[in-house]
Amino acid sequence: MDKPFAITLDVGSSLANKTGSWRTERPVYIDRLPPCNHACPAGENIQSWLYHAEGGDYEAAWRVLTLDNPLPAVMGRVCYHPCEESCNRGKLDEPVGINSVERFLGDEALKRGWRFERPASESGKRVLIVGAGPSGLSAAYHLRRLGHAVTIFEAGPLAGGMMRFGIPKYRLPRDVLDAEVQRILDLGVELELNRKVSNILETMQQGRFDAAFLAVGAHIAKRAYIPAGAAARMLDAVAVLRGMEGDDKPLLGRRVVVYGGGNTALDVARTAKRLGATDAIIVYRRTREKMPAHDFEVEEALQEGVLIKWLSTIKNMADEGTLTVEKMCLDNKGFPQPTGEFETLEADSLVLALGQDVDLSLLDGVPGLAIANGVVQVGPNMMTGHPGIFAGGDMVPSERTVTVGVGHGKKAARHIDAWLRGVRYAPPPKHELAAFESLNPWYYADAPKTVRPVLDLARRTSTFDEVVYGLDETNALFEARRCLSCGNCFECDNCYGVCPDNAVIKLGPGNRFEFNYDYCKGCGICVSECPCGAIKMVPETI
Amino acid sequence: MDMQPVKFYQTATFTVGNRLLGENQRSVQANMDRTNSLNSGHRACQGCGEALGARYAIDAAMRAAANNLIAVNATGCLEVFSTPYPETSWQIPWIHSLFGNAAAVASGVAAAMRIKGRHGVRVVAQGGDGGTTDIGFGCLSGMFERNDDVLYVCYDNEAYMNTGVQRSSATPPAARTATTPAVGHEPGNVFGTGKNVPLIAMAHQIPYVATASVANLRDLEHKIARAMSVHGARYVHIHVPCPLGWGSLPADTIKVARLAVESGLFPLFEAEYGEITGRTQIRRKAPVTEYLRLQKRFAHLFAVENDPRLARIQAIADRNIAKFGLSEGERAHG
């Protein structure tokens, strides 16, 4: 014994004491599904691209974003951003301006000339896409990146579909659209314009295509029977908006009445104002709450002086431009019922914006197809009843927005790719939703949403300049940093700091953390104090 | 306070780290090379606030002293759970003597270092509220009045937890402890007792006094660094919840500490030479009931509806907020 007085044991470290054995529950790192990603019809990984944008790495952010959506500059302008409606930050102050950051990234990519990566290898398969709208372009992009040879047949004179012939310039400048379409074509996608497909099976056979994706959209204006004099000027909204793309602008006159309550009705009324109409009046048979148009568009239209007559239907139109309008009232089921009260409106023209139907003539004689309510029925894999023919966008049952179209294109591309290889595409299982309750919002600093500057009202009603401006780098960065990173670790070091037992191992930037279960006692502080809900407790198994 | 507010709008400095901040702006605890002065394998209960507070404080002191630090420990939970013979969780020079003499031993260590000419070696004394506010109070006051070059850190969990939750002079009113049971016409600890050692320390006119909480790491680290930047007697009083003694969930340790601060029951301030020089503002004010309800030691306050004692505790919090100027716009009453 050469130990000092009263010492009988060697001094040791407490590391010999494996306190992990105390545990009944263990913390585990998880990824939850952020509500924005969950809500995105195009399936964007929003949280992930915001994470890169927060750090100022815009190109990495854009690359993650374009894994799902090849049209960020377009979408950053025309998407109705359901992501923002579901954003958890909305429960704290205001939702993150996801749409405005998307537009910033899209514009930045155009400015800096970022290109898509060409496929690493060619599959040797040929895919025909009918229609160069959002859905067709998205499918073309995704299929091309998977190595397939893609050809688009477009019936119109220019690519873009409803993005060009339905959405006015003041919402989507054409140079932006052209640039994003060109970037897809630069991947090696072939585009044939003015090429209307009248018989799909014949076209596929002639071109030796292995599969086809149909996305012809819905271009035929719906009609309503309105008795009208021979000289009364009655137009449809699709024709008016399409006419805006030609040299001869539609002649609407000074007093324009638009019949309908959707976004198209608003687009026409706002376009009429810009063409010089003194009065642009929307007649809609129900109330503002029931209007299918999006609230911010109604708001912008009202600011520009568009008038809306609620609870009214048009009974007839006389030669000298006099409309008879009947007042309606809602019954207890919420349906409009006539009241027998009439009034007259002066109008130089009446534009019908009552929705659109699909031209399905190209599908005549294709066996196995199911058509219901004027749209083609598709399975969960976007394939029609005829093997090898897939369809998406406005011609299948959908919400008929650009974003839904882009989402259809992506989804169809994955299934077409699998079908061509003779397998089934199985989407990866979805993580559980990152509900607001799983967050610890204490840790987020207060920061209200950045308001996007808006074009001067006077110029809005006289020109077709873009109404909503983009963000610049400083406020786009600010906006990106408002993201709560719901359900996904953003390396705030909280778990690493708050563990009383040093049982969290920091793996360094980009590598997140791991638990040292030898010493973790399972207290759960890391779970309570994780701002973004990326840790959960699970019972220990014996 | 001279802490620079960070305008990074994701989490600012509320989280331990922030990957968007520069290295020199990050906390000691965010650093992969932190000392881990109190290492894994210690025998503190699940969710121990004191173990957490001790690592926060001593790691910060180690950085400030360039790792030349000796810690003196009073008897108490911290000493017992960290050094069961022959193991130790401490990765720094560390000495334990008795329950009541940590301040005196630390004074002696500081004197020894001075006589040996080892001027770069700094001394920290630490103990719980029992060893500080009751048993070691005489030695502590002596260390203060002699202005010995020691930083004394008190981890306040508001009772003698190590021996089975007996009342100390830091136990708050109405709290149930083993010696103040929740029975009789005035259950729990009586109102109008106890002492506020940070204010007593200030009365000694020592160079630096501060209160801190495990719920506000950046504030805590700033105060330790500030204390280590001066010589003489310094005192930092850290609020550390005790899940066992308070009857709170182990996972709620930081939440409970945060509510103590946000309700005003535990004011965060710092003082130099007897004058208050900084106050940490309440960010989102919480009623005291939110704090009390999470702890079984206060369960008897909620046995009947609107127990009048709740209003008395709220009045204490409101007085703190007014007195220390904890709510923006309200200034100290001098």
One digit per residue, the tens of pLDDT, for chain A of length 542 reads 678 887 788 889 999 999 999 999 999 999 999 999 999 999 999 999 999 999 899 999 999 999 999 999 999 999 999 999 999 999 998 899 999 999 999 999 999 999 999 999 999 999 999 999 999 999 999 999 999 999 999 999 999 999 999 999 999 999 999 999 999 999 999 999 999 999 999 999 999 999 999 999 999 999 888 888 877 888 999 999 999 988 888 889 999 999 999 999 999 999 999 999 999 999 999 999 889 998 888 999 999 999 999 999 999 888 778 899 999 998 888 888 999 999 999 999 999 999 999 999 999 889 999 999 999 999 999 999 999 999 999 999 999 999 999 999 999 999 999 999 999 999 999 999 999 999 999 999 887 777 777 878 777 877 888 888 888 888 888 899 999 999 999 999 999 999 999 999 999 988 999 999 999 999 999 999 999 999 999 999 87
Q: Domains of chain A: which residue ranges? A: 14-31+489-539, 35-115+441-480, 126-220+357-420, 231-354
Q: Do B51 and A501 touch (CB under 8 A)?
A: yes
Q: With contacts defined as CB-CB under 8 Å, which chain A residues touch B38? A: 502
Q: Do B14 and A524 touch (CB under 8 A)?
A: no
The class (CATH top level) of A14-31+489-539 is: alpha beta
Q: How far apart are CA A200 and CA A1, in angstroms?
A: 96
Q: Is residue B332 part of a domain?
A: no
Q: With contacts defined as CB-CB under 8 Å, which chain A residues touch B32? A: 506, 508
> Is-contact A78 A69, C-beta < 8 A?
no
> Is-contact A297 A264, C-beta < 8 A?
no
CATH of the domain at B209: 3.40.50.970
Determine the topology of domain A126-220+357-420 in CATH.
FAD/NAD(P)-binding domain (3.50.50)
Place of tokens 């940490």: B280
Q: Is residue B131 part of a domain?
A: yes
Q: How far apart are CA A471 and CA B190, in angstroms?
A: 60
A35-115+441-480: in CATH 1.10.1670.10: no
Smallest CA–CA distance, residue A72 to chain B, in Å, is 24
Q: How far apart are CA B276 and CA B268, in angstroms?
A: 11
> Is-contact A153 A161, C-beta < 8 A?
no
Give the pLDDT band (50/70/90) at residue B333. Answer: very low
Structure tokens, A504 = 């969290």
| A498, A503, A509: residue with CB nearest B40 | A503
Q: Do A497 and B250 touch (CB under 8 A)?
A: no
Q: Is residue B180 part of a domain?
A: yes
pLDDT digits (tens, 9 = 90+) for B100-142: 999 999 999 999 999 999 999 999 999 999 999 999 999 999 9
Q: How far apart are CA A38 and CA B157, in angstroms?
A: 44
Per the structure, how many domains does chain B have? 1
| A493, A528, A531: residue with CB nearest B251 | A528
Q: Do A14 and B87 touch (CB under 8 A)?
A: yes
Q: How far is CA B104 from CA B71, B117, B147, in A?
A: 13, 20, 12
Q: Do A493 and B27 touch (CB under 8 A)?
A: yes
Q: Do B19 and A498 touch (CB under 8 A)?
A: no
Q: Is residue B334 part of a domain?
A: no
Q: Is residue B255 part of a domain?
A: yes
Q: Classify residue B329 as exposed, middle or buried by CB count within 10 Å of its CB (0-12, 13-18, 19+).
A: exposed
Q: Is residue B252 part of a domain?
A: yes
Do A35-115+441-480 and A14-31+489-539 have the same topology in CATH? no
Is the four-CA dihedral B322, B328, B332, B333 of positive or negative sign?
negative
Q: With contacts defined as CB-CB under 8 Å, which chain A residues touch B87? A: 11-14, 16-17
Domain extent for B311: 35-324
> Is-contact A413 A174, C-beta < 8 A?
no
pTM for the predicted model, two decimal places:
0.90
Q: What is the mean pLDDT of residues B295-305?
A: 96
> Is-contact A25 A539, C-beta < 8 A?
yes
Name A346's bridge partners: A322
Query: Of 3.90.180.10, 3.40.50.300, 3.50.50.60, 3.40.50.10860, which CATH number belongs to A231-354?
Result: 3.50.50.60
Name A514's bridge partners: A505
Look at residue B4 in the predicted model and tell me its pLDDT. 60
Q: Do B87 and A17 touch (CB under 8 A)?
A: yes
